[in-house]
Amino acid sequence: MFIKKKQEMIKEKLIYYFSQNKCEGNAKMKNLLGGKGANLAEMCNIGIPVPPGFTISTSAYKNYYQGNGLPANLCSTIKEYMTMLENDTGCKFGDLNNPLLISIRSGSVSSMPGMLDTILNVGLNDTTVIGLARRSGERFAYDSYCRFIMMYSNIVLQLDHHLFQSVIDKEQQKNGAKSLADLNVDVLKKIVLSFKNIVHKKAEKYFPQNVEEQLLSSVNAVFASWQNDRAVSYRKIHNIPEDLGTAVNVQAMVFGNLNNNSATGVIFTRNPSTGEKKCFGEFLVNAQGEDVVSGSYTPIPINGEQENTMEKLMSNVYQELCEICKKLETHHKDMQDIEFTVQNGKLWILQTRSGKRTAEATIHIIVDMVKEGTITKEEGILKIDPKIFDNLLHPVLEAKGDQKVIGKGLPASPGVASGYVAFSANDAEKTAEQGKKVILVRSETSPEDINGINAASGMITARGGMTSHAAVITRGMGKPCICSVSGLYIDKNGSFFSVGDTIVDKGDPITINGGTGEIMLGILPTILPELSQEFKTIINWIDETKTIKVRANADTPKDAKIAKEFGAEGIGLCRTEHMFFANDRIEFIRRLIIADDKAERASALSKLEEMQKSDFKEIFSIMLGMKVTIRLLDPPLHEFLPSNQSTIEKMAKSLNKSVESVKNKIAQLSEKNPMLGHRGCRLAISYPEIYSMQARAIFSGVDELKKEKKVEIKPEIMIPFIMNEKEFILICKLLKKEAENFDVNYSIGTMIELPRAAMIAGNLAKHAEFFSFGTNDLTQTTMGLSRDDSVNFLNSYKGNNIFENDPFEVLDIEGVGELIKIAIEKGKKTRKELKLGICGEHGADPESIEFFIKLGVDYISCSPYRIPIAKLVAAQRSKCAKQSRKQ
Ligand code: PEP
Ligand code: MG
């Protein structure tokens, strides 16, 4: 059995060729070829000019990972494919006269920009460089050799990049040059010598002259880069599975650094910041690809007003590039991020992928593409990552225009962020760990900074363009970023930065506006933005598509207004005890809780009744025409009782009691397990007047509003923490008695938040017209996990793979989900028309929503700000979206 498996493994095809003449892959093979490899093959299939090459598959990576280095069969197949590549290009690998040079690039299944390694110009040594010089010029040949030694030494030999960069910096300074392109061939030859000496000294070996060794070691290093720290961090941040591995693309080099008729650049088929339908990009003349993306140079825009744009300097190539952009975007039905090289006037495309974009751009592009007929509404909805809806609601500066701007750069990723200045990824992480917001300020970013960027709320770089690493990464994370701030100087010791006349120390607070590129001093106040028309259009399409309603958890008239603004289709949970959280109100609920007798309770209740009636009236008035579910009081006592001396003293004074007696009462009420204590309907079993008061407040408020507005309003009243049919019957009786005094229509339902309630759901449904699953408490009580305390050990559970997720965020479908299923089956058996809702925090979680849709739940309810996300996910996971996904 084992032997058979081993043979199969060896027979498996591990390498796939791509060129205009022969192409073994296509776009559907992403899992095997990685995103880059699959798209390179697809571009060959549709006639885009791509330099020929081959992709070593992710299966080969798996063989590599399980074994020890590159398997022998892989090495021999690589050699066979190199021969094919030599035939295709007419050049020979390692040949003195006509050397073939190759690039070796990673290509994972999910895009991980800049995290994995790439090596360019492989195949250069002391002899092939002479052949290359004869073919293409000496300066170019030595420029390429310098770049190759530097990259190879860093990635394969693991030598510090700065060892090499400092040699270049010194020579540039000495020769008054701005970049490598400005250095003459003699200086470049000198640099090559210095580089080789560094390798000899630091790696204790000569720089490898054997091109096959260069090739195989490079493939090995690119595979190994899957496990480097930054890639591991990036996968954690973006939830990319560890076991996917990367493919490796070996491709004939084309040279953007050949001469001044050569260039390299990145182009987006639409603007990735705004979504505007116009090609957007940057390029550098006489340079190689890494120069643009690394942020070490500030590239020039492709088009626009500026003098030296590609549109003006290389107009024919620019036109051809725009045509290719159109073709690729239509083919992939998505905005593309394309890397290209111009070699002596000939355009080559090196990569295409779906472009990372801001939340605003995502919405803009989808609305445009649906209107153009490129995609359907459902396809558009499926393209939206729910996380970007959070970003769309990111805050904007409250006061516009009147803050002092101390510096300005490129608006690389929009949004406003305030925080304390940190100059290193480490510092950023440490500051964030202290619970402080951070703005990370760097000369340029490198992929090593990924954890710091993740910890920061926003970032600034002194160098780099709109397509630099920092810009791409922050846009993907939805964080504000400003690049290339003119005149920004960062102190070498990382203790301050200066811009113009202003000096900002490490730890000083600043605010950045990534939409305008402006830096301001201090933490400036922000407000929520108005929702754009395009956002509203998308929400309308989502509403047409989804099959489940999305209501809000809203406790006050203010919440109700926000909920409506965000598209709530009713209120699924109004926690009435939260109406008293405000400073000027909490005293009254405390008075109720610590009342010594009926009279004191009655006095507190009458004040509460006034407040509740007016709040209910306002909430129903805001939500006119929509369902509103009012949950009767459920105050876990510990959340409401005062604990500090001064509040207790104040309370004693206002109640005309001694501090001692108030303290005694608090001690008497204190519970060891308040979450399982005297809360919910249990309070009303002890003190029925509490729920009677609430019922009167609801009914009288609704009765008055009905008459004023001349419309029908039918409140839904929900009883919390029910575990017993008799509890429910008793409270129903209480409510019905109060209703007799008013002209109101209403329904009464129960929360299901205890396992026993789920198990007796059939009996509860005899009296309850609706169920709303309180999945917070249901998770707490089913799993025996405290909602308040378990955070302390949940991480070890996740670390040991016992839990994949926090069960208070993502529903435990296997356990808690099963109880919900049982309760629904039992409840529906008794009452066919039983209405079902979810009001725990799981109402906004994508995986949980899909489960609730499958169970036939009528609505989910979540906090107002999460409504757009919940609606989007509901639409994506609803049947009709699923069908279109299958097509
Ligand atoms: C719940 O338990 O899920 C619920 C919504 O109620 P609360 O969070 O108020 O206990
Ligand atoms: Mg609850």
Mean pLDDT of the 630-646 span: 81
Average pLDDT for the chain: 90
Does ligand 1 lie within 6 Å of residue 635's CB atom? no
The DSSP bridge pattern shows strands 396-397 and 489-490 to be unpaired
The pLDDT of residue 816 is: 98
The pLDDT of residue 515 is: 81
Q: Which of the following is catalytic: 44, 146, 279, 839?
A: 839
In angstroms, the Cα distances linking 278 to 15, 369, 779, 833 are: 37, 13, 50, 53
Give the span between the Cα atoms of 23 and 19, in whole angstroms. 6
Instruction: Please give the distance, rounded to the nearest whole angstrom, from the Cα atom of residue 310 to the centre of ligand 2.
Output: 61
Q: Which of the following is catalytic: 469, 578, 767, 842?
A: 469
pLDDT per residue over 69-92, tens digit each? 888 889 999 999 999 999 999 999
First-to-last alpha carbon distance for the chain, in angstroms, is 39
Q: Is 73 helix (H, G, I), strand (E, B) or coil?
A: helix
Using 50, 70 and 90 to split pLDDT, how confident is the model at 853? very high
Does ligand 1 lie within 6 Å of residue 839's CB atom? yes
Instruction: Using the predicted structure, report yes or no on whether residue 884 has a pLDDT greater than 50.
Output: no
Instruction: Please give the distance, rounded to the nearest whole angstrom, from the Cα atom of residue 243 to the centre of ligand 1.
Output: 37
Instruction: Please give the distance, rounded to the nearest whole angstrom, from the Cα atom of residue 840 to the centre of ligand 2.
Output: 7
Contact 497, 474 (CB under 8 A): no
Contact 191, 207 (CB under 8 A): no
Respond yes or no: is residue 238 known to be catalytic.
no
Does ligand 1 lie within 6 Å of residue 575's CB atom? yes
Does ligand 1 lie within 6 Å of residue 775's CB atom? yes
Atom of ligand 1 nearest to the CA of 776: 3
Q: Give the distance from CA 276 to its chain's centroid.
A: 22
Residue closest by Cα to atom 6 of ligand 1: 774
Backbone angles phi, psi at 836, to 5 degrees: -125, 130
Angle at 31 (CA atoms; ends 30, 34), nearest 5 degrees: 55
Highest mean pLDDT among 239-243, 648-652, 689-693: 689-693
Identify the weakest region by mean pLDDT among 446-460, 580-594, 725-739, 752-766.
580-594
Contact 716, 632 (CB under 8 A): no
pLDDT per residue over 409-442, tens digit each? 888 887 899 999 999 989 999 999 888 999 999 9
- Please choose, from the candidates 634, 770, 630, the residue with its C-alpha nearest in 3D space to the C-alpha of residue 702: 630
Respond yes or no: is residue 469 known to be catalytic.
yes
pTM of the model: 0.72
In the numeric block, the tokens 């490490």 are attached to 506
Sheet holding 280-285, edge to edge: 300-301, 280-285, 263-268, 336-343, 346-354
Higher pLDDT, 192 or 594: 192
Q: Give the distance from CA 424 to its chain's centroid.
A: 22
Beta bridge partners of 351: 339
In the numeric block, the tokens 């939805």 are attached to 478
Torsion of CA 9, 10, 16, 22, to 10 degrees: -130
Give the span between the Cα atoms of 94 and 92, in whole angstroms. 6
Identify the weakest region by mean pLDDT among 146-150, 189-193, 297-301, 873-877.
297-301
Instruction: Using the predicted structure, report yes or no on whether residue 39 has a pLDDT greater than 90.
Output: yes
Give the span between the Cα atoms of 657 and 707, in whole angstroms. 43
Does ligand 1 lie within 6 Å of residue 676's CB atom? no
Beta bridge partners of 405: 520
In the numeric block, the tokens 């929503």 are attached to 849
